[in-house]
A and B are shown apart, each in its own frame.
Chain A
Amino acid sequence: MSNSYEQLRQQLQPLGLRLRYRDTLLLASRTLWSGTIGFALVLLAGRFIPIHNLWLLAVIPLILWALAMIGYLLARQLSLQQVARRIDSQMELRERLSTAIELHDQANHDLLSQLQQEEAATVAQRLHPGQIPFEVDRQRLRVSMVPLALGLALLWLPNPQNAILAEQRQVQQTLAQVADQLEQLAEQIAQNQELTAEERALLEQQLAELQERLRQNAGNREEALADLSATEARLQQQLDPQTDARQAALEQMARNLESLSGRRPTARPDLNQARQQLERLAQELDTMNEAERETLAEQLAQQAGQLAASDPRTAQSLSQAAQALRNGDIEQAAAQLQQAAQDVRNAQSQLADQRVVQESLAQIQEGRQHVARSGQQSQSGQSGQQGQSGQSGHQGQSGQSGQTGSGGSQADHLGQGQSDTSAQVDPNRPGRNGSGAGRERSDLVYQPYNPSTQTGERDFIQGQQGEGGQTQQREGEQALPGAVNPSLVPYEQIFPEYARSASEALDRGYIPPHLKEYVRDYFSQLEPGNAP
């Protein structure tokens, strides 16, 4: 009897393996739809939202399904009794095998039990795995093919999101480059000994924060432009609009002092020499005669007048020195000249700070232009390749960011391209189709009505030069929407606010998705320095 059971067990083992394969195949045919639907859904989603590595993501449901099937095959262990029952049912053996297995387990030794087990073993001898056919659920298999075919069709058809993904990749690369440039700038600032420690720390912090945000950006151009614009706006606030005038006035004062000492004035006078000249004059006052003092007082007063608008402190010191000389108070005059020399020293440091701020500003502006341009050219190129008469790549852009070494004068031009929307634009020749309208930094521009600045903060705007060489500085009122006033605001100072407002509107969905490109293009064209 034990021999019969052993024969039966040996016969059932390969049959059990066959049943596992059969069950797995059947389950696979019944559940394939879950994987193919996942595959199709991911690809479908990739048509509406940009998804990186879409193909890889789409096959994940299929891979998970396949893993589940493999797991099922490995985990589906059938006991000998289960195999016997399945074979009995499958091959219509009238429960011979399962009864024999159970009788062996019960150790039943009566006549019929023995006969039954022997008969079961004999029947099992005639069985082989090939008699168990594999089975698939054809109906569900056909259903599974529908999403699979849909997914493959979606893969084969061109995906409009690919252009966006390419743009994002390009933007990300550009952001990395900009971040690298900002890092180099930060290193230069750290090594610049002319800067005050406070100013250096502030700049380093701002640049570091910007770098971090740019590196974390996953290719979102609007967000990057907003970050750049925000930092730019903060730097703009640190920028003194009188810097150039102050520099020019101090240089003029230095030239005058060189003339006074009998030397030939240089084109680029050194402010250190001007400071030393003031100190020397303070020491030489005792040796001057009355006429020389009168002449010196006259010249100092004239210098004070020229400096009054741009450097009031130095001007005041010079003016008081001149007044003291006229009054014959030599000590007071010498003290005021020493004070003026100290003021020039302070002005030198402040001018150095402003130069670094301007350099940083220029660097950020340049980066913003690169970011604004990045992706658009490739997009327009792609649209040209696809033959779509499109809405992208129609703007002409060219930017020049001029910057002189110490003066920091900038001439930013912006080219605003307007092209026929049906026309294809060669991305390698930007701006050809546009009619450019250059903007100087002192052009009259409309300052937008910004409710967020209504409370507290006020803008101080340089006033027009008054009569008699006097400069008036007046507090400007907040411009209301539509108001036309004679205030002069540098264009580069106003633009970031527009760009930030536009970025926020883009981020918050105020602008319909199909118009976002227009808005983005528009502000890219308005970038300072985008001159034709």
Chain B
Amino acid sequence: MTIPPQREPQERASATLRMNPDEFRQYAHIIEAEVGQIIVGQRDLIRQTVITLLAGGNALLEGVPGLAKTTMVRTLADVIDCSFSRIQFTPDLMPADIIGTTLISEDEQGRKVFRFEPGPIFTNLLLADEINRATPKTQSALLEAMQEHTVTVAKTVHRLRSPFFVLATQNPLEMEGTYPLPEAQLDRFFFKIIVTFPTTAELVEIANRTTSARTPQIRKVASGDIITQMQALARTVPIASHVLAYAARLITATHPESKESPAITKQYIRYGASPRGMQALILASKIMALLDGRYNVAFTDLKAAALPALRHRCVLNFEAQAEGMNPDEVVQGIIESVKTE
């Protein structure tokens, strides 16, 4: 697969929408392919991570340890030629450890001055590893950065680099020593991606790749600027009003107090998805349409995006937990009950 010829910097700067849909698709597929050289299988994981990246959102990866979550993020950073930082979240991690702190230092004239020392958050790709092992206070240090792409320290607002992309990993909540992410934090994740255990064949391939002398070489096939152009193009994908209405009905259907919500919602959901959930749904659908070679959003795109976009935004009630229901089953039930027309 060939990399599309990159335009001159001044040309790129003048027109962010110069990228056409074919180039978009080519870049996306090349990124996926390069990541796929390192990550065996996990096509959905790679696709959803790329979608989150191209949507300008943040992803929460959930899976047991050892499923190459960190490897994938690191590989992705290499492929798109962006700066990368990794923060290992621990219970004693403090917010300043993430966003940085103000230090007293001497300037050239020997005067004592305050200097802001940026934390690891000042990067393009931030891997927040095992985010649910930190306390909610530390977790919340990411809120502004994730939403506004800025950091405020001592009344000074520091803008983060573009593109900025947080990939947080977490272990399943039932594991010991974890703090559940607050709803406000969860809502800021564009997708929650479930990392599944590889199949036997994939395990064999993983063993072959990682235990031999030969290490796959990956190429830098994109850049931060290209990612920004792709993000801009994705937002221009048209969506028909009735498709948009369907997305709205899907979101409304997650609210148990709504008259239009199906029985499964009323039975198992305590809080439904926020408008941010709808934004994620539509934006993801637009990128899916482009990746599929279309120039418009279809119902199928919305249905495909609904699970990763809504599963962490629907808070289940006690009855659902008691019956062992997981959010995916409930969201799937909602998708099936809401008619497209």
Contacts and interface: CB of A to CB of B under 8 A. Distances in A.
A178 B37 CA distance: 110
Interface of chain A, main secondary structure: helix
B242 A94 contact: no
B298 interface: yes
Interface string A9-20: 000000000000
Interface string A80-123: 00000100010000111011101100001011110110010000
B162 interface: no
Contacts of A108: 238
Given A89-B340, A111-B17, A115-B21, A94 B240 contact: no
Given A85-B341, A89-B341, A112 B242 contact: no
Contacts of B341: 85, 89
Contact of B242 (A98, A103, A110): A98
B20 A99 contact: no
A103 B295 CA distance: 12
A116 B233 CA distance: 14
Contact of A99 (B296, B300, B340): B296
A493 B297 CA distance: 98
Q: How large is the interface on B (under 10, 10 to 19, 20 to 34, 35 or more residues)?
A: 20 to 34
Given A89-B340, A112-B21, A115-B21, A94 B294 contact: yes
Contacts of A85: 242, 341
B296 A95 contact: yes
Contact of B238 (A89, A94, A103): A103
A115 B295 contact: yes
Given A89-B340, A95-B243, A99-B243, A111 B296 contact: no
Interface residues of A, number: 18
Given A102-B240, A110-B236, A95 B297 contact: yes
B237 interface: yes
A2 B340 CA distance: 29
B109 interface: no
B239 interface: yes
A89 B20 CA distance: 28
Contact of A94 (B17, B241, B296): B296
Contacts of B21: 112, 115
Contacts of B301: 94
Contacts of A99: 238-240, 243, 296-297
Contacts of B197: none
Contact of A116 (B238, B241, B300): B238
16 contacts: A85-B242, A94-B289, A96-B298, A98-B242, A99-B238, A99-B240, A99-B243, A99-B297, A102-B240, A108-B238, A112-B238, A113-B238, A116-B238, A116-B294, A116-B295, A116-B296
Interface of B: 17, 20-21, 233, 236-243, 289, 292, 294-301, 340-341
